[in-house]
Amino acid sequence: MELSEIYHQRNFGGVGDFSPKISFEIFPPKGNDISSLYEELRILKRFEPVLISLTYGANGAANRFSIEDMKSIRDLEFNLMPHFTCVSSIKDEVEEHIVSVENIGIENILALRGDIPDYIKREELDFKYANELVEFIKEKTTLSIGVAGYPETHPESKNSHEDIKNLKRKIDAGASAIFTQLFFDNDKYFHYVENVCKAGINVPVIPGIMPIRSLSQVEKMISMTKVTVPKKLREQLEKYPDDAKKIGAEFCINQCQDLIEFGVCGLHYFILNHSDQISEILENIL
């Protein structure tokens, strides 16, 4: 099922009840041994995710799920959305990969600029920005394309206005949905959605949610993404570091309930390849 179909209608579980579409993002395990990841996914299948997003390794790492991996995960009856980035600079290789993805029955892809390693010069890339990649995928395949959005502005953008202009270029090139970077302050997301709408962008903006598992994880996210962590949450994690998973789950439940009341059509979870904490969270909000 394509992105426009998935998020076209809200899913009502009863009179007055609204259940957003759930999706999960996973990454290639170290050593590419994905047998344990299969088990985590089997556990999460009961939540009926509309998408499983398949990311690359972090910080520009080249490791990614192979076509065979995708077939195996798809055989668990999941709808997949692999990532693809501009870091793969040769157009022929890009075309070969996206066509291979389409040929095994995958309908969606997430097109990103990606983290560009220091050893690669941007001017050497065939695709320098995500909108160029979106346009190429649209030209060469029938894949439905998702793109990234940044409620707290992309770290390399001059300001939020410039960031939204870049987002519109991606949508105008053919993207069908926006999946946001993680955030902990819902007001940032609400303001972002308002600005997206004012810019004439009329596609779903799916909030990206990362349940906190440890204080060190939060510190890493701050350094990588520059996201804002509410003062009260930060103080709780610093005071009770051994209870970080519990604190993180409680915060995430409240955050998601607030987003559901706002009327989001989906919740996209960065689960870090673990099923335990997200299972607890979803049991409390669905």
Per-residue model confidence (pLDDT) at position 185: 96
Half-sphere exposure of 241 (CA within 13 A, CB side): 6
Residue 23, classed as helix, strand or coil, is strand
Per-residue model confidence (pLDDT) at position 117: 61
Render pLDDT for 203-237 as a digit per residue (tens, 0 to 9).
Answer: 999 999 999 999 998 888 888 888 999 999 999 99
Residue 282, classed as helix, strand or coil, is helix
SS3 for 89-118, per residue? CCHHHHHHHHHHHHHCCCCEEEEECCCCCC
Half-sphere exposure of 275 (CA within 13 A, CB side): 13
State the greatest distance between any 2 C-alpha atoms of the chain, in Å, as a whole number: 56
Do 131 and 174 meet the contact criterion of CB atoms below 8 Å apart?
A: no
Does the pTM surpass 0.85? The reply is: yes
CA proximity to 105, closest of 83, 79, 69, 85? 79
CA proximity to 62, closest of 92, 32, 40? 32
Averaged pLDDT score across all residues of the chain: 89
Domain housing 21: 3-285
CATH number at residue 217: 3.20.20.220
Residues annotated catalytic, as ranges: 25
**DSSP secondary structure letter of residue 52:** E
Number of folded domains that form the chain: 1
The Cα-based distances of 171 to 130, 146, 165, 189 in angstroms read 10, 9, 10, 18
Render pLDDT for 70-120 as a digit per residue (tens, 0 to 9).
Answer: 999 999 999 999 998 877 667 888 899 899 999 999 999 999 987 666 666
Task: Determine how many CB atoms are found less than 10 A away from the CB of residue 87.
Answer: 18
- Residues 148, 170: Cα–Cα separation, whole Å: 9
Per-residue model confidence (pLDDT) at position 11: 38
| Bridge partners for 109 per DSSP | 145
The Cα-based distances of 157 to 7, 44, 176, 237 in angstroms read 28, 36, 22, 30
4-8, 23-27, 175-179: segment of lowest average pLDDT: 4-8
